[in-house]
Amino acid sequence: MKKVWIVDDDEEMSRAVSLMLKVLDCEVAAFFNARAAAQHLMAGRRPDAMLLDINMPEVTGLDLLEFLRRNRAWKRLPVIMLSSEAADVTVDKAMAIGADGYLTKPVVIEELETMMANVFQKYSKG
């Protein structure tokens, strides 16, 4: 069973995506801000993948993604961005920083399943 962390300040969205991931046979942990997720990482906990909201107060999802990609220990942690923003400039920025995928809200379970399968396949190769 894959461990997936959801980092999203929208608790309702987090619950909905958590349910979808459980249906997809994932173990889920939710964090309502980027700092809490980063603290768990630095304490030695590590998920198999992370779903990361872009727009959060204080530390944004892009800030956390940039932190992950600059740190050798988490450089290869699969990260899928979640956002209500679908503008190409936002998607392009997230992908340039190192996101492995981008899902727009509201999340559709079929898209989530495909994205998760693609990310896990990508990282199993290498």
* Of 88, 36, 58, nearest in space to 50 by CA: 36
pLDDT surpassing 90 at residue 125: no
* Residue 88 burial (10 A CB sphere; 0-12, 13-18, 19+): exposed
Query: What pLDDT does residue 126 have?
Result: 59
CATH numeric code, 2-124 = 3.40.50.2300
More confident residue, 15 or 86: 15
Q: What is the pLDDT of residues 13-57, one digit of tens each?
A: 999 999 999 999 999 999 999 999 999 999 999 999 999 999 999
CA distance 5 to 51: 6
Average pLDDT over every residue of 77-101? 95
Distance of CA 17 to the CA centre of its chain: 11
CA distance 118 to 80: 11
Query: What pLDDT does residue 99 have?
Result: 98
Query: What pLDDT does residue 86 have?
Result: 87
Average pLDDT over every residue of 48-68? 96
pTM value is 0.95
* Residue 23 burial (10 A CB sphere; 0-12, 13-18, 19+): exposed
Domain boundaries, the chain: 2-124
CA distance 115 to 79: 10
